[in-house]
A and B are shown apart, each in its own frame.
Chain A
Amino acid sequence: MQDLKLLANDKRGKTELGSRRDLVGWHEVTQGSILPSFDGDAIGIALKKAEERVYSNFNSYTATVASWRVQKPVFNIDVCIDCQNCWVWCPDSSILSRDKQMMGIDYDHCKGCQVCSEVCPTNPKSLLMFNEYVQLEDALASWPEKKKKEK
């Protein structure tokens, strides 16, 4: 249910950050080390969603920091109340919200800081941390029950 490339532009996270793959010679570096963020016309970019934009290869949207992560947040849509706390406080622009609804996580840009899980107000939480290797289905299957209030 959680597509790893949910709401993604086809360029999202295609390059490992710091990889030496794209190293070019002095005659091919950009003049003045200037970096354009988009290919083509970017008028009104604030009104376009990520998946509609034409990012340039220089945009860090096209890079991934997934390898930084030890634990990943897993999102459980059945518990979520779409409060958007996780969206506003995600430091890595990795909470995918569309039309006021939480859709999932951008695993190319999430560093696994756990802030989203921490600020999630539901009971049980709709975002929980699991080891990177745990399958999403297994994570969801092991979701905790609602905690009873301690008396």
Chain B
Amino acid sequence: MAVKYDLNEREVWDGNFAASQSLRQAKVDVVAAYPITPSTPIVENYGSYVANGYVDGEFVMVESEHAAMSACVGASASGGRVSTATSSQGFALMVEVLYQASGMRLPIVLNVVNRALASPLNVRGDHSDMYLGRDSGWIQVDAFNAQEAYDLALCAFKIGENHTVRLPVMVHQDGFITSHTAQNVYPLSDEVAYDFVGDFKPVDDMLDFSRPITYGAQTEEDWHFEHKARQHKALFDSREVIDAVFAEFEKISGRAYKRVESYDMEDAEVAIVALGTTVETARVAASELRSEDGIKAGVVAIRNFRPFPFDKVREALANVKSIAVLDRSSPGGAMGAFFNEVSAAIYSTPNRPLVTNYIYGLGGRDFSIEEAKRIFKEQKENADAGHIMTDIQQFSGLRGPSLGFFKTKRG
């Protein structure tokens, strides 16, 4: 039996500590992990719970992130609760196995502390690794602060392990800004948290010897397509379960989550659409602009990056005039991926707002309230002019001559 861990009603935790506490409270059976900045403390904290008897599960410190996810797959197929954490290069090394985990429908929870991808090497936060996972068939939820990193990790187990879902879940938080910044966190008691997550109920359990099973069969052109289609449908169908889990979580915590979060959007004319900690920065900017300049600014945040909330994005942005979609990942010779997805969603709205793309914050470059205001103001100019006045894709917060691509005139 695990030793009781004393918790205060209000704790001062960083995002990493918050995530590690959710793993402890969910009574994970196997954590197989490999350390990498900035997610290392999740694994270290968990290691201290192991060393001091706060957890009963197995802790397997493997020799690489690829092996970490591989061991997670083997463990998850063996009928128990499994979790790990990683970032950046480690995430990139895991990619092969991420696709395998989702293809086998294994509900592993991966805490991703977002960090840039080299080269050049960089340990700070951007969303390159989160984007790298976007086609991997995992559910991806995004926490904007330490409290959310804790809450969403608990929700992740309940979502992924639901028998109608049976998919792995990534819980993202921004490297350093969330992971290493101590903030107020209101944890649930161990009992309430575990009651919420519930006992793990195995499906296709390799350790159930009354029913031997084969995992990882080969499917060629005569079968592969059907399997991937079924998996895709399961991912889209998980939306209802995610909503239900969020609703249940609100009941026990008082904290409400939505797949798409809208702030000040009721009457907004211009909007920033963003992910991660930038959402909080943009919210402050929007509220200040409303009082300072009378600009009706709002923020739309994507909580549930995958399955992409195509319909909810349309609803949230149906009535604005000009939108800035912020991509915190080097777009590599294209418009930002997030921009493309949001644009595709709003293309089929009757209003068809103007939409531009900002590449910002790469490698942990600070994104300030002032910069958010500047972007809002550009949107206001677009909205007033009725067409995009700037380059469609611009780099924000970059030294040197302004960098942007493509122009349009509409109206």
Q: Which residues of A contact B (CB under 8 A)?
A: 20, 23-27, 29, 31-38, 41-43, 45, 58
Whether B213 sits at the interface, judged by CB under 8 Å, is yes
Q: Which of B95-109 contact A (CB under 8 A)?
A: 103-106
Instruction: Give, as a whole number of angstroms, the nearest-CB distance from B202 to chain A.
Output: 12
Distance (whole angstroms) from the CB of B348 to the closest CB of chain A: 25
Most chain A CB within 10 A, of B103, B213, B222, is at B213
Listed in ascending order, the chain B residues whose CB lies under 8 Å from chain A are 103-106, 166, 203-204, 209-217, 219, 222-223, 225-227, 229-230, 233
Known A20-B222, A25-B226: A32·B212 in contact at CB below 8 Å: no
Decide if B217 touches A35 in the complex (CB within 8 Å). Answer: yes
Q: Which residues of B are found within 8 Å of A58, using beta-carbon distances?
A: 214
Q: Which of A26, A36, A42 has the most CB of B within 10 A?
A: A26
A42 touches B105 (CB 8 A): no
* Distance of B327 from chain A, by nearest CB (Å): 33
A-B pairs with the 3 shortest C-beta distances? A32-B105, A26-B226, A26-B229
Please give, as numbers and ranges, the residues of chain B lying within 8 Å of A20 by CB-CB distance: 222
- A23 CB to closest chain B CB, in angstroms? 6
> B209, B217, B229: which contacts A43 (Cβ < 8 A)?
B209
CA of A107 to CA of B140, assembled, Å = 51
Neighbouring B residues of A25 by C-beta, 8 Å: 226
A41 (CB) vs chain B CBs: closest residue: B210
CB distance A35 to B214 under 8 Å? Answer: yes
Instruction: Give which listed residue, B106, B203, B210, B230, contacts A29 with CB less than 8 A.
Output: B230
Asked if A36 and B106 make an inter-chain contact with CB atoms under 8 angstroms apart, the answer reads: no
Q: Is the CB of B222 within 8 A of A33?
A: no
Q: Considering only CB atoms, which chain A residue lies closest to B206 in the complex? A: A34
**B230 A31 Cβ-Cβ under 8 A:** yes
Let me know if B215 and A32 touch, CB within 8 A: yes
The answer to whether A34 touches B215 (Cβ under 8 A) is yes
Complex contact B211–A33 (CB within 8 A): no
The answer to whether B212 touches A33, judged by C-beta atoms less than 8 angstroms apart, is no
Whether B214 contacts A34 by the Cβ 8 Å rule is yes
Nearest Cβ on chain A to B100's Cβ, whole angstroms = 10
Q: Secondary structure of the A side of the interface? A: loop
Q: Which of B103, B209, B222, B233 contacts A42 (CB 8 A)?
A: B209
Are A38 and B211 also in contact (CB < 8 A) when A32-B105, A33-B219 are?
Answer: yes
The answer to whether A43 touches B210, judged by C-beta atoms less than 8 angstroms apart, is: yes
Given the interface pairs A38-B211, A42-B211, A43-B210, the reply to whether A32 lies near B204 with Cβ below 8 Å is yes
Cβ–Cβ contact A33 & B210, under 8 A: no
A23 to B220, CA, bound (A): 12
Check B103 against A33 for contact (C-beta < 8 Å).
yes
When the two chains form the complex, which single residue of A24, A36, A37 contacts B226, counting CB atoms closer than 8 Å? A24
Chain B residues near A32 (CB, 8 Å)? 103-106, 166, 204, 215
The listed residue with most A CB atoms (<10 A of its CB), out of B166, B204, B233, is B204
Contacts A31-B203, A33-B104, A43-B209 given; 13 further ones with Cβ under 8 A? A25-B226, A31-B230, A32-B105, A32-B215, A33-B223, A34-B213, A36-B214, A37-B212, A38-B211, A41-B210, A42-B209, A42-B211, A42-B212
- Residue pairs across A and B with Cβ atoms less than 8 A apart, 13 shown, are A24-B226, A25-B226, A26-B226, A26-B233, A31-B105, A32-B204, A34-B105, A34-B213, A34-B214, A36-B213, A41-B211, A42-B212, A43-B209
Which chain B positions have C-beta within 8 A of A36?
211-214
Is B213 a contact of A29 with CB atoms below 8 Å? no
B226 & A45 in contact (Cβ 8 Å cutoff): no
Question: CA separation between A6 and B106, bound complex, in Å?
Answer: 41
User: What are the residues of chain B within 8 A of A33 when measuring CB–CB?
Assistant: 103-104, 216-217, 219, 223, 227
